[in-house]
Amino acid sequence: MGIKGRALTGPVFFWHVFRWMRMSMSLLTDQLRILDHAAPLELRGTVIEVRGLALRVADLPAPIGAMVSIREKNAHQSKLDGEVVGFDREQAIVMPLGPTTGIRRGDRVVAEHFSPFVRVGESLLGRVLDGMGRPMDGRGPLSDTLIRPLTPPPVDPLDRPLINQPLATGVRAVDALHSIGRGQRIGVFAAPGVGKSTLLGTMAKHTSAEVSVIALVGERGREVRDFIDNNLGPEGLARSVVVCATSDQPALLRIRAAVVAATVAEYFRDGGLDVMLIMDSITRFCQAQRQVGLAAGEPPATKGYPPSVFSMLPTLLERSGRTSKGSITGIYSVLVEGDDINEPISDACRGILDGHIQLSRDLAQKGHYPAIDVLSSVSRVADDVTGPEQQAAKRQVLKLIHSYQQVEDLLNIGAYAPGSNPDFDLAIACKPAVDRLLQQGRHEVKGAANFDAARSQLLALTQQTQQAQQQLNQRTRQPVTPAAR
C-alpha cells in the first residue's frame, strides 16, 4: 500500500490513521444526530380519507411536525412524504409534500422523524436547493454537511446586541437615505411588477454581508432562472445559497423553503458571519400557510387567513437579527395586492419589521428605477447606524423631494411662476441632482457595495444644494433692469 509510489510508513501512516479516525468520528456524530430526530419506535397509521389537500390518517399518534412516509399497504418503499399538521379526534391530518395522485384508502403512513432537520455546511455556497434542502442544480450531492433542526429554540432576547453597524446593500437610495443596520429586518412593499425581485437581487449580489441566503417562495418557475441568471449572476451566486419552491409546488414545500433558508442563514451566523437573508416573497409564504391551516381545519379569519398565519409570521421573522456570534439581516418582499396597503399580511409585516421600503408604480411607470418612494419608506434603525452629518443631509434631501412633489402638478401645466416660493425654486433647481442620487441602473454597481461611497454621494448633493441656493439668492438680489424686463 502506498501513496504515489511511496510506502505508507512512520508519521505518514499515523497521519492517515488519525484522518480516518476523525472522519469516522464525524460520520458517527452525524448518524447520532439523525437518531436524535428519528421516531423512537415505528408508528404506523392508515389512510382513510383524502379531504382537499390533506390526508386523514387513522391510528397515527405522531406529534405535530413529524415527517411521515406514505407507502403501499405491504410495500417498504415510500410513495410520498408528508408532515403531520393537525389532529381531528383519533385522526391525524397529514399534508403531503407532493401531489396526492395515486394515494389510496388503506395505504400505510409511517412516522420517520419527529422533528424535521436539514443538512447545512460551507458546501452550500453557490448551490440551489429545493424546499427540502436538497440540491436541485444538477451539481451533485453536498459534501461535509451536518444536521441542524429546522425549528430551533428562539434566540435569548438578552443575546441580542444593539444594531449599530450599517450594512451596505448596493442600492444608493437605501444606503444614503434609509440605511439598513446589520441584523435589521426590513420589508420591500409593492404591487406585482414594480421591481421587488430586481431590487432584492441587487441587494443579494452587492451587499457587504459575507453570505446571502435567498428563499424564492411561490415564484413562477420562469422567475427562478431569471433571478439566478440575471439578477444574481455567477459572482452573486458564488457567495449565496438559493432555496426555492415555486408556486406549482405543494404548500408545505413552499413553507419549508422559507424555514430551510432561515436555518441555513442561522448556520452561517453561528459561524460568526454577517448574513443577508432574502425572502421573495413573505406573502406567498403566508398564502401557503393559509392553505395548510385551512386544510388542518382552522377557521378562516381576516381575508381567509387563519390565525396560525399570524403566529407563524413573527416566529419566522424573529429568526433574523443580531446575536453575539454574527448577524442575519432579513429583507422580505411583501406583495401589496391591488395596491391595497391595508392588506392583512402587509399590515402584520409592517408591525413586526424594523422598517419598510415602499416601491411606487408611478415611479416605475416614469422609468425611475429602483422605484423607491423614499418619502413613504422608513428604516427604524437608520439613525443608530449613521452619523449626524448624514442624518442632516438625509432630512434636507427628503425635504427637497417633498417640495418638488408639491409643485410638480403646477409645473406640468406651466402654472408655477419661478420666485413665488423659495423652497419650490430650490427643489426644482436640485431635481436633476436628486434624481442622479436616487436612480441607478441594474448593472451600475460593480463588486461589493461600499457604504461610505453612498454617504459621500449624499454629502456631495448637500454641497450642490448649497451652491444652487446661493445662485437663487443672487438672482433674487439682482435689481431688475429695464433690459431684463
Cell of 394: 438625509
- Pairwise CA distance, residues 48 & 3, whole Å: 60
Phi, psi of 28 (to 5 degrees): -65, -45
* 117/227 with CB nearer ligand ADP: 227
- Pairwise CA distance, residues 71 & 408, whole Å: 67
Least Å distance between CB 223 and ligand ADP? 7
Element (H, E) at 331: strand 327-335
* 82/131 with CB nearer Mg ion: 131
Site residues (vs ligand ADP, CB under 6 A): 190, 192-198, 369-370, 442
Stretch that binds Mg ion, among 2-10, 42-50, 189-197, 357-365 (CB under 5 A): 189-197
- Pairwise CA distance, residues 28 & 26, whole Å: 5
Partner whose binding site includes residue 138, from ligand ADP, Mg ion, none (CB under 5 to 8 Å by kind): none
Partner whose binding site includes residue 442, from Mg ion, ligand ADP, none (CB under 5 to 8 Å by kind): ligand ADP
Least Å distance between CB 312 and Mg ion? 22
Cell of 182: 446589520
Stretch that binds Mg ion, among 154-162, 196-204, 421-429, 461-469 (CB under 5 A): 196-204
- CB-based contact 113:132 (threshold 8 Å): no
Least Å distance between CB 367 and ligand ADP? 8
Partner whose binding site includes residue 193, from Mg ion, ligand ADP, none (CB under 5 to 8 Å by kind): ligand ADP
- CB-based contact 174:385 (threshold 8 Å): no
Three-point CA angle 100, 103, 108, nearest 5°: 125
* 26/230 with CB nearer ligand ADP: 230
Least Å distance between CB 280 and Mg ion? 6
* 226/384 with CB nearer Mg ion: 226
Least Å distance between CB 273 and ligand ADP? 27
Partner whose binding site includes residue 394, from Mg ion, ligand ADP, none (CB under 5 to 8 Å by kind): none
- The residue among 58, 91, 86, 88 whose CA lies nearest residue 306 is 86
* 218/326 with CB nearer ligand ADP: 218
3-state DSSP call for residue 223? helix
**Cα-based distances in Å from 221 to 138, 217, 248, 252, 302:** 17, 10, 8, 17, 29
Least Å distance between CB 342 and Mg ion? 21
* 428/438 with CB nearer ligand ADP: 438
- CB-based contact 229:360 (threshold 8 Å): no
Cell of 265: 442563514
3-state DSSP call for residue 346? helix
**Torsion angle defined by CA atoms of residues 415, 416, 418 and 420, in that order, rounded to the nearest 10 degrees:** 120
* 399/442 with CB nearer ligand ADP: 442
Least Å distance between CB 169 and ligand ADP? 13
Least Å distance between CB 194 and ligand ADP? 5
- Pairwise CA distance, residues 37 & 86, whole Å: 19
What is the contact mask toward Mg ion in residues 146 to 185, using x (rule: CB under 5 A)? Answer: ----------------------------------------
* 231/465 with CB nearer Mg ion: 231
- Which one of residues 197, 212, 249, 465 is an interface residue with Mg ion (CB under 5 A)? 197
246 lies in the site for Mg ion, by CB under 5 A: no
Least Å distance between CB 196 and Mg ion? 5
Find the helix packing angle between 307-317 and 282-295, rounded to 10°.
140
- Judged by the rule CB under 5 A, the positions of this chain that interact with Mg ion are 197
